[in-house]
């Protein structure tokens, strides 16, 4: 095989070579905690104990690192566990984070309520305002800039290259949460980020049947240590690793990521275009629509626009009624699986930032558009919109 391998070839083969012992095309799930040693510390294949390394997990980590263009991947028990490990590996009390304000509520909770307690400060910033990002940097203290793009659930698009410049000018690192785009649509390390985090629970797993997270490191260093070394040590010492069954499911999902993302994106674009013409819908947030403020940037830094569409209804009652009326779109937190989901984020995924400046609008419903037949999805949204338009109109003020 030549040196260049395309995305899907890499997704299917990197870290996923047939088992050399038996020829099994799919490498076995190494359901073991420990590995026999041929002498004291004489290890076969480098594996000693599954918290340190496990072949199933290692295969998935290599597969994901290859797709993100990083030097090493690290798989964790959840996306939040991956984020926590990254923060613990790189930060010390007194450090400061510039935090994209528009992002997953649980990330905000982790940084504020767990890491805040240990003396790590943060300043939330609008992700599309480079001047605000730059002025939030605290010289000598800002260690990380943390960005989610596209953001959850407002689908803001930030300029990753600009954030990377600001981070590096300040002597800090840029972390990008690439959960929404997945490496099929966006490779932040190529755009200048130092680290990528994922909730692999979402598009990478792809079937809503596994919880997981990952960090992918570039070849950079931090405070004299290679990033990959620092994250690897934290993974081993902190221990929030992905188990072999979960790593297997994530690796299996990742093989079809490209196929799924194509279909998610096609369905989402078709529904977004249709929804913006529907009575009852005040606004459709989807970076694939020409009127989206981040459309040109997304078209330039991404290879597609993804499968998440958020809708605004102008008032809370309509949004709640819509979210409770869809049927094929199951009312649920999470996203990125083959099945469609609808989420009323202000009370569900983002309840932890309710009543704060970072609160999600109460008239918003997030749709995770699955890979079902689009006409069935449209029919489901149509019957839910019929419920919305039948609601008594709110009093005008």
Tell me the closest approach of the beta carbon of residue 244 to ligand PLP, in angstroms.
18
Give yes or no: 141 in active site.
Answer: no
Does residue 56 bind ligand PLP (CB under 6 A)? no
Half-sphere exposure of 141 (CA within 13 A, CB side): 14
Using CB atoms within 10 A of its CB, is residue 230 exposed (0-12), middle (13-18) or buried (19+)? buried
List strands edge to edge, sheet with 96-100: 72-76, 213-217, 195-199, 173-177, 142-148, 96-100, 121-125
Of 248, 263, 317, the residue nearest 30 (C-alpha): 248
88, 187, 202, 260: the active-site residue: 202
Q: By C-beta, is 35 or 104 nearer to ligand PLP?
A: 104
95, 102, 159, 177: the active-site residue: 177
Q: Which stretch binds ligand PLP (CB under 6 A): 31-39, 102-110, 120-128, 185-193?
A: 102-110
Does residue 79 bind ligand PLP (CB under 6 A)? yes
Does residue 368 bind ligand PLP (CB under 6 A)? no
Q: Which stretch binds ligand PLP (CB under 6 A): 104-112, 246-254, 261-269, 276-284?
A: 104-112
What distance in Å separates the CA atoms of residue 79 and residue 294, rounded to the nearest whole number?
Answer: 26
Tell me the closest approach of the beta carbon of residue 322 to ligand PLP, in angstroms.
21
Does residue 201 bind ligand PLP (CB under 6 A)? yes
Tell me the closest approach of the beta carbon of residue 78 to ligand PLP, in angstroms.
3
Give yes or no: 255 in active site.
Answer: no
Residue with the two structure tokens 């275009």: 273
Does residue 78 bind ligand PLP (CB under 6 A)? yes
Does residue 380 bind ligand PLP (CB under 6 A)? no
Give yes or no: 354 in active site.
Answer: no
Question: What is the chain's Cα-based Rg?
Answer: 21
Which own/partner pairs from 111-116 qualify as long-range (CB within 8 Å, at least 24 positions apart)?
111/87, 111/146, 114/84, 115/87, 115/91
Does residue 80 bind ligand PLP (CB under 6 A)? yes
Does residue 234 bind ligand PLP (CB under 6 A)? no
Does residue 53 bind ligand PLP (CB under 6 A)? no
156-157-160-164 Cα dihedral, nearest 10 degrees:
-30
Beta strands in the chain (DSSP E): 37-39, 42-43, 72-76, 96-100, 121-125, 142-148, 173-177, 195-199, 213-217, 221-222, 225-226, 283-285, 308-312, 330-331, 341-343, 364-368
Does residue 211 bind ligand PLP (CB under 6 A)? yes
Q: Identify the three-state secondary structure at position 247.
A: helix
Tell me the closest approach of the beta carbon of residue 81 to ligand PLP, in angstroms.
7
Q: By C-beta, is 97 or 281 nearer to ligand PLP?
A: 97
Angle, helix 257-275 to helix 374-390, in steps of 10 degrees: 40
Q: Which stretch binds ligand PLP (CB under 6 A): 93-101, 176-184, 186-194, 285-293?
A: 176-184
Sequence-ordered list of residues with C-beta below 8 angstroms from that of 113, at least 6 positions apart, any chain = none
5, 51, 161, 317: the active-site residue: 51
Does residue 246 bind ligand PLP (CB under 6 A)? no
What distance in Å separates the CA atoms of residue 377 and residue 30, rounded to the nearest whole number?
Answer: 39
Of 112, 108, 173, the residue nearest 137 (C-alpha): 173
What distance in Å separates the CA atoms of residue 125 and residue 310, rounded to the nearest whole number?
Answer: 21
84, 88, 104, 344: the active-site residue: 104
Give yes or no: 84 in active site.
Answer: no
Does residue 242 bind ligand PLP (CB under 6 A)? no
Does residue 84 bind ligand PLP (CB under 6 A)? no
Among 70, 150, 213, 294, binds ligand PLP (CB under 6 A): 213
Quote the DSSP letter at residue 34: B
Q: Which stretch binds ligand PLP (CB under 6 A): 101-109, 124-132, 162-170, 280-288?
A: 101-109
Does residue 10 bind ligand PLP (CB under 6 A)? no
What residues between 305 and 324 interact with ligand PLP by CB under 6 A?
none
Tell me the closest approach of the beta carbon of residue 311 to ligand PLP, in angstroms.
18
What distance in Å separates the CA atoms of residue 369 and residue 326, rounded to the nearest whole number?
Answer: 12
Binding residues for ligand PLP, per CB under 6 A? 78-80, 104, 106-107, 148, 152, 177, 179-180, 199, 201, 211, 213, 349
Residues marked active site are found at 51, 104, 177, 202
């Amino acid at each position: 095989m030549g040196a260049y391998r395309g995305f899907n070839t890499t997704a299917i083969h990197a870290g996923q070579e047939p088992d050399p012992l038996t020829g099994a095309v799919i490498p076995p799930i190494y359901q073991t905690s420990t590995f026999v040693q041929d002498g004291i510390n004489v290890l076969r294949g480098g594996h000693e104990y599954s918290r340190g390394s496990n072949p199933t997990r290692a295969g998935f980590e290599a597969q994901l690192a290859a797709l993100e263009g990083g030097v090493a991947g690290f798989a964790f028990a959840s996306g939040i566990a991956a984020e926590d490990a990254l923060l613990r590996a790189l930060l010390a009390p007194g450090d400061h984070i510039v935090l994209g304000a528009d992002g997953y509520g649980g990330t905000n909770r982790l940084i504020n309520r767990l890491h805040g307690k240990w003396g790590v400060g943060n300043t939330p910033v609008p992700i599309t305002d480079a001047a605000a990002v730059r002025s939030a940097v605290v010289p000598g203290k800002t260690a990380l800039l943390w960005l989610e793009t596209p953001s959850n659930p407002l689908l803001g698009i930030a300029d990753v290259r600009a954030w990377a410049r600001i981070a590096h000018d300040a002597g800090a690192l840029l972390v990008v949460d690439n959960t929404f785009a997945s490496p099929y649509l966006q490779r932040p390390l190529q755009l200048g980020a130092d680290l990528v985090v994922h909730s692999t629970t979402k598009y990478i797993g792809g079937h809503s049947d596994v919880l997981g997270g990952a960090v992918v490191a570039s070849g950079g260093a931090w405070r004299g240590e290679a990033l990959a070394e620092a994250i690897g040590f934290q993974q081993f010492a902190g221990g929030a690793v992905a188990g072999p069954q979960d790593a297997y499911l994530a690796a299996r999902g990742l093989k079809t990521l490209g196929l799924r993302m194509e279909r998610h994106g096609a369905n989402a674009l078709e529904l977004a275009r249709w929804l913006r013409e529907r009575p009852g819908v005040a606004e459709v947030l989807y970076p694939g629509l020409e009127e989206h403020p981040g459309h040109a940037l997304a078209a330039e830094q991404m290879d597609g626009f993804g499968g998440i569409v958020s809708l605004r209804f102008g008032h809370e009652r309509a949004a709640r009624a819509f979210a409770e009326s869809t049927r094929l779109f199951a009312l649920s937190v999470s996203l990125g699986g083959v099945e469609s989901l609808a989420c009323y984020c202000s009370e569900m995924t983002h309840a932890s930032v309710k009543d704060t400046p970072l609160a999600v609008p109460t008239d918003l419903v997030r749709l995770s558009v699955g890979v079902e037949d689009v006409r069935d999805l449209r029919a489901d949204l149509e019957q839910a919109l019929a419920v919305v338009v039948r609601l008594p109109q709110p009093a005008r003020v």
